[in-house]
A and B are shown apart, each in its own frame.
Chain A
Amino acid sequence: MNFNLLTHQHRHAGSVIHHLPAGLKLGVALIVIVGNVCVPLTWQAWFLGVVIFLILVAGLSRISPAFLLKRILALSPLVLGVALVNAFQTTGQGHWLGVAERSLLCLLTVTLVSNTTPFSGILRVLKSVRVPSLLITTIALMHRYLFVVAEEAGRMHRARASRTFSRTRRFQWHTLSSVVSQLFIRASERAERVYDAMCARGWK
């Protein structure tokens, strides 16, 4: 998980796919993912179908292929790495190709959904499938302040970088931990302000 993923969000564009209801998109994505995981590898027709379907969706959603490729590459080192480790195993020759195929297709599916659906839509779907409200509130708050806190972390990083000339090994640990602890303290203080603001607006 690196910082680039957070800052390089896809801009909301008004394509056909963007306007579909979130529930439908999530449902179809779930079916595709379950299929990808459960269907035996010998059913090449299923995987071929999924590939064509995903390419069709990607085309309709007007997300640039370069963006999608960058996203997938950023997330797939683990997939490729494990596939490589697996390639040297004596137990499953050829098996790793299937694993890579399955997980790359799932990755593409989720990437497409998350970049064509506003997060509030996903939350609404979660609410309608009876995810407990406390969890939904927490997820919504986290999503709201995620970018704020990350930006704060970025500012602290910049401030520190502009003030320190050299960093020795030991000092590095010290700064890392002080950044993290400061982040926690600021997040807690912000939580108190958020609570006051929520109360002032009639939250119960």
Chain B
Amino acid sequence: MHIPDGFLDAKTAGVTAGLSAAGVALALRRVKRDLPPRKIPLLGLAAAFLFAAQMVNFPVAGGTSGHLVGGVLAAALLGPSAAVVVVTTVLIVQCFLFADGGVLALGANIFNMAILNSFGGYAVYRLVCRCLPGERGRLTAMAFAGWCAAVLASIACAGELAWSGTIAWSAGFPAMATVHMLIGIGEGVISALVLLAVRQTRPDLISENGSSAGPARKGEWLGYGLLLVLGIAIFIAPFACPWPDGLDAVAAKFDFEHKAVTVLPAAPAAGYQIPGIHWAVGATAMAGAIGTLVVFGLALLLGKILVRKKTLDA
């Protein structure tokens, strides 16, 4: 999901850089205040760990393979702000040392993978944890959050590319979303399994980190939440919504792109004022909702199986 240089235009690169600078500054301030000095080397080591973990490939259906992003896993293990710092570090090193991900696209990559993936996923994780208490709920939450975060980041990525005019939303969105819906399953399963394994072998590590980094505070929720909403409003909403307001250029492009879609249901849509668009958006939203529900069900099942297996083992 690393966007290389040349794929984003100046405006997108600027906006994403601003958003991620704000997010990283917030995370650094939080970490500096909350993390005891003992834990500072852990950030660097966790970043090295994440880098190594990202090189572990897992099989995805159809012979392809994906790799972990690990933002949500880091957030669950270290706390959300520490995770933002850790993933940002990984991205910076990948960019400058290995030329993986562009220099000007660094802002966008940090926004997608460090902020949206880590904090967005963490928000889902906490929410599900609150609704489903206990070990089973925690594993379900982890698996579901891993999937949601991967899909969310990929959609944001498609939005940024579309905003730059590199890849049309009508081509980029389905491609990115479907691929990451598959990869996200792997991400979710591995995240849940890793969380379970760490909790079994060294539960003190998580509880210690959890209490020192703290569950997200009010300011943290507010700050990252604002960034998240801003990002979605800027990168995703203009393409996903049928409303005609917004930037002129975007509207024009939107109209243009959806002409291709309208060709398919030619006759039945003729009577509507904006045919195709409502249909396409409605169908996409429907499919997304159903997919999400199915994945949540799978996550529940996984949590159940893992916990039952654990009690059988014990």
Contacts and interface: CB of A to CB of B under 8 A. Distances in A.
B40 A110 contact: no
Interface stretch (B95-103, B127-135, B226-234): B95-103
A141 B45 contact: yes
A143 B93 contact: yes
Contacts of A103: 4-7, 102
Interface stretch (B24-32, B214-222, B273-281, B289-297): B24-32
A151 B10 CA distance: 39
Contacts of A33: 5, 102-104
A79 B24 CA distance: 27
A19 B28 CA distance: 34
Most buried by B among A114, A122, A135, A169: A135
Nearest to A174: B193
B255 interface: no
A180 B205 contact: no
A159 B129 CA distance: 36
**Chain B interface mostly helix, strand, loop or mixed?**
helix
Interface stretch (B47-55, B235-243, B264-272): B47-55
Interface string A140-183: 11111110111011000000000000000100111011111111
B208 to A, nearest CB: 9
Interface stretch (B83-91, B117-125, B148-156): B83-91
Contact size class for B? 35 or more
B189 interface: yes
Interface residues of A, number: 78
Contacts of B193: 173-174, 176-178, 181
Contact of A187 (B48, B104, B196): B48
B313 to A, nearest CB: 13
B47 A184 contact: no
B304 interface: no
Interface string B9-34: 11001000000000011001001100
Contacts of A191: 39, 41-42, 44-46
Contact of A139 (B24, B92, B103, B205): B92
A110 B103 contact: yes
Given A3-B55, A78-B2, A114 B97 contact: yes
A190 B45 contact: yes
18 contacts: A37-B6, A38-B10, A78-B4, A89-B168, A90-B260, A132-B25, A134-B85, A146-B48, A149-B51, A173-B190, A177-B190, A177-B194, A180-B53, A181-B194, A183-B53, A185-B198, A185-B205, A195-B40
Interface of A: 1-3, 5-6, 29-30, 33-34, 36-38, 71, 75, 78-79, 82, 85-86, 88-92, 99-107, 110-111, 114, 119, 122, 132, 134-135, 137-146, 148-150, 152-153, 169, 172-174, 176-185, 187-188, 190-192, 194-195, 198
Question: Nearest 3 CB-CB pairs, A to B?
Answer: A141-B44, A102-B6, A103-B6
